Amino acid sequence: MNTASHEAATRVHNFCAGPCTLPVSILEEVRDEFLDFDGIGMSLLEDSHRAPAYDAVHTAAMADFRTLAGVPDDYAVLFLQGGATLQFAQIPMNLLADGETASHLNTGAWGKKALSDGRRVTDLHEAWTGVGEGFARMPSVDEFDIAEGSRYLHVTTNETIGGIRLPAYPDVDLPMVGDMSSDFLSRPIDWSRFDLAYGGVQKNLAPAGMAVVVVRRDLLGRSGRDLPSALDYAVQDANDSLANTPPMFPIWVMGKVLKWMIAAGGLGEFERRAAERAALLYGAIDSSDGWYLSPVDEASRSHMNIVFRLPDEDLEERFVAEAADADMVNLKGHRSVGGIRASVYNAMALESVEALVSFMADFRAAND
């Protein structure tokens, strides 16, 4: 029996919001290399992070991230532990001097948390909040109330729970800091608009356990704060993200994903694929005469996390259960909002979305 083919054939359609589905070919590569990496007689995970085998993996992942994302030379790329959540506090620690402030868009659960955690470090200004509208849309630029003297505007480019995204990066007169966790490397990034962009890798790139931070090098050390070395971007950059033992497994897998994305055509191609998947699923929702309902503003609809409701919660529970019986899993909406959420990240095959759309039609026919 061909083990690889058997495993690929029996995998479910995984719509998890994070950790994400990963390309089967890469999971197979990791499996095949796991016990003896590149002939060293042990797993890469058992080797030193200073050894030649891991050094080659680390260096290649850094270079391929720069290539795929088009990162300019005057920006540092950092592989950091703690996920994106740690960055909510680490960013103002590194970018804001005592007495300085920044403005934040509160566009959903993650925008709210970034603001709340950042305020544990310094005073931050809420430039807009969608709480009164149930976080159902992104704001337009003319709604921003940016505080005078703000060093940057913090934006969450895609809200994983609410299912909304910034359809375009805002055109503002100050640099931005972007939490891109749930649409990281799903579309091209205009780096001239950002002082810093960051994201947890578990949505589009790798297993959980790290964040990638891309930051202008001329900002390193500008806060003047006496930071612990692990939290200091300047220390991490000076040591190529090897100031301490890095999260070796996520970096190893991410390196493979980056090469896979480059070979597939780069960020423009993945933006096209995301739009195709989203159009198919939103088309099924919009053509259901309101039986399936998108609760978010059409202009703000996410291409990564597609949320929708059914006529009642009992039907939603049955939808999730029957979908799982049909090998479509992790469709239950976040506990804070309910409903259904289909996360369709970079590695999600169009065939999986087609299977979900077909199931939606059958489920409605049986229950309408």
DSSP secondary structure string for all residues of 106-118: E-SHHHHHHHHHH
**Which structure tokens are listed for 166?**
């910034």
Burial call 53-74: b when 16+ CB within 10 Å, e when fewer: bbeebbeebbebbbebbebeee
Do the strands 305-308 and 13-14 form a parallel or antiparallel pair, or are they unpaired?
unpaired
Give yes or no for a contact between 322 and 356, defined as CB atoms under 8 angstroms apart.
no
Torsion angle, CA of 205/351/344/7, rounded to 10 degrees?
-50
Phi/psi at 165 (5° precision): -145, 160
User: Which residues are annotated as catalytic?
Assistant: 110, 179, 203
Residue 242 neighbours by CB distance under 10 Å: 15
Residues of the chain with CATH 3.40.640.10: 30-263
- What b/e string do you get for 20-45 counting C-beta neighbours within 10 Å, with b at 16 or more? bbbbeebbeebeeeeeebeeeeeebe
Give the CATH number of domain 266-367; options: 3.40.50.11540, 3.10.20.30, 2.40.30.10, 3.90.1150.10: 3.90.1150.10
Instruction: Please state, in angstroms and rounded to a whole number, the distance separating the CA atoms of residues 293 and 284.
Output: 10
Full pLDDT tens readout for the chain, 368 residues: 344 444 555 899 999 998 999 999 999 999 999 999 999 999 999 999 999 999 999 999 999 999 999 999 999 999 999 899 999 999 999 999 999 999 999 999 999 999 999 999 999 999 999 999 999 999 999 999 999 999 999 999 999 999 999 999 999 999 999 999 999 999 999 999 999 999 999 999 999 999 999 999 999 999 999 999 999 999 999 999 999 999 999 999 999 999 999 999 999 999 999 999 999 999 999 999 999 999 999 999 999 999 999 999 999 999 999 999 999 999 999 988 889 999 999 999 999 999 999 999 999 999 98
pLDDT value at position 12?
A: 96
Tell whether the torsion through CA atoms of 313, 314, 317 and 322 is positive or negative. negative
- Residue 293 has a CB neighbour count (10 Å cut-off) of 14
The secondary structure of 18-77, three-state, reads CCCCCCHHHHHHHHHHCCCHHHCCCCHHHCCCCCHHHHHHHHHHHHHHHHHHCCCCCEEE
The whole-model pTM stands at 0.94
Strands 211-216 and 305-308: unpaired
E strand or H helix at 248: helix 248-264
**Domain ranges in the chain with CATH number 3.90.1150.10:** 266-367
Q: What is the largest CA-CA distance in the chain?
A: 67
pLDDT digits (tens, 9 = 90+) for 94-138: 999 999 999 999 999 999 999 999 999 999 999 999 999 999 999
Q: Give, rounded to a whole angstrom, the gap between the first and last alpha carbons of the chain.
A: 43
Q: Give residue 149's region: left, alpha or beta (phi > 0; psi -120 to 50).
A: left
Return the ∠ at Cα 325 (arms to 320 and 327), rounded to 5°: 95
Its CATH architecture, for the domain 30-263, is 3-Layer(aba) Sandwich (3.40)
The three-point CA angle 307-308-312 to 5° equals 140
| pLDDT tens digits, one per residue of 50-98 | 999 999 999 999 999 999 999 999 999 999 998 999 999 999 999 999 9
Residue carrying structure tokens 């059914």: 310
Collapsing DSSP states into helix, strand and coil, what is residue 135? Answer: coil
Token readout for 294 is 């998108």
Gap between the Cα atoms of 337 and 198, Å rounded: 25
Rounded Cα gap, residues 225 and 97, in angstroms: 7
Please report which helix (H) or strand (E) contains residue 327, including its range: none
What sign results for the dihedral spanned by CA atoms 340, 342, 285, 10? Answer: negative
For the chain, how big is the Rg over CA atoms in Å? 21
